[in-house]
A = this chain, B = another copy of it.
């Protein structure tokens, strides 16, 4: 795979083209930091956008869910989907209302998702999803059994047609506004893990494992 892919007319960033990012390395960095995507698909002419978790391996995204899920059943026969991942990094306060903005990194992947039928690939994808969200958990927990695997669908989407849009840094004001007497800058936002809450049905003496206590999305 080339390190840089050319965007298609559908994925090229038109507004604020300087925010467009097409390098796989940078796009994969965004995909690997997030773990919730929004899946878009069309049913009877109506678009639907549903949040779900995902994992990435090489040039593929994997999503999963109940085999009875309406979304998975709709998108598993090769209809076009859009998977969008958004990381919100901060609120950008300019002098003018007009130049207020957000700092963010978002990725859009267009394509067609296919059901993973091969049992080894399916189990591997479930492990990937688990380790993507919570590294270290797979080895600790009770692994899926046949009945559970049957009740789960896994879909694979090749990362072929994609782009990212990234805004970072301070506000950009109109030159004449820089003298306007108001605070300007960035309020960074971060998803921060809080103190873990024991399941009330668990022995309260059991210790919180390090992969929970030290959880962080930063690589």
Contact = CB atoms under 8 A, between A and B. Distances in A.
A165 to B, nearest CB: 9
Q: Copies per complex? A: 2
Contact of A86 (B51, B91, B190): B51
A82 B141 contact: no
B134 A93 contact: yes
Interface in A172-219: 177-178, 180, 182-202, 206-209, 212, 215
Contacts of A82: 40, 46-49
A102 interface: yes
B189 A191 contact: yes
A207 B181 CA distance: 11
Max chain B CB contacts within 10 Å: which of A90, A184, A190?
A184
Contacts of A182: 140-142
Given A15-B70, A98-B145, A188-B197, 17 more contacts: A36-B102, A46-B80, A47-B81, A48-B110, A50-B84, A51-B86, A51-B104, A51-B106, A96-B143, A97-B148, A141-B180, A141-B182, A170-B201, A183-B206, A185-B198, A185-B202, A190-B192
